[in-house]
Amino acid sequence: MWWSPRAGLRFLVAVLAACAALPVLAACTPVPKRAVAVRMERGNLVIDPGRCRSEVVTDVSISTRVDGRLDTWVAIPRSMAAVVDTIDPAALGPDWAADGTRPTALQPGATYRIGVSVSRDGRLDSGSVEVDGATLLGLADDQAVVGRGPSAPGVVTPRAEYRSAVEARCE
């Protein structure tokens, strides 16, 4: 017989050890290379694409989900690339082409997914952040919501800490 009480005990110990290790492994999950942050400035949503000096922004998108309805707004620089450190969707000028419903007033019950694509030496990279309207409206001036991966909600972080992480990634 291939199964013995001793083998069963070893199997049980292995399963318990694996389950105990999962939270530790989850804490060691690497942060994505491209982290995007959003913050509020004078009542407007402002996007920080985490751009390095040698990168250009190629597009920005905001998906808004309210009561099961999804609206998407996409903006592309007319020159196909923009050297910007922040993007204020409410204040984009004629040098950007936009399509869709521009988010004007944030809603506490809405969920926002903000995506940014950048290019560096012809290679595209993108990142996103997902956040609810109540969190955005409750941010302090020195805070931002930073994306931590495609399926994880954004994390409220000090803006200086986010900028420091961007600068470290760019070196």
Instruction: Break the chain into its structural domains and give their ranges.
Output: 37-170
Q: Alpha-carbon distance 147 to 31, whole Å?
A: 9
The pTM is what? Answer: 0.74
| 55 close to 39: Cβ distance less than 8 angstroms | no
| 36 close to 47: Cβ distance less than 8 angstroms | yes
- 28 or 46, which is more confident: 46
pLDDT digits 0-9 by tens, 56-98 = 999 999 999 998 888 899 999 988 788 888 998 888 888 899 8
CA atoms within 13 A on the CB side of 32: 18
- The CA distances from residue 32 to 14, 126, 127, 166, in Å, are 31, 10, 8, 11
Q: Alpha-carbon distance 99 to 129, whole Å?
A: 20
CATH of domain 37-170: 2.60.40
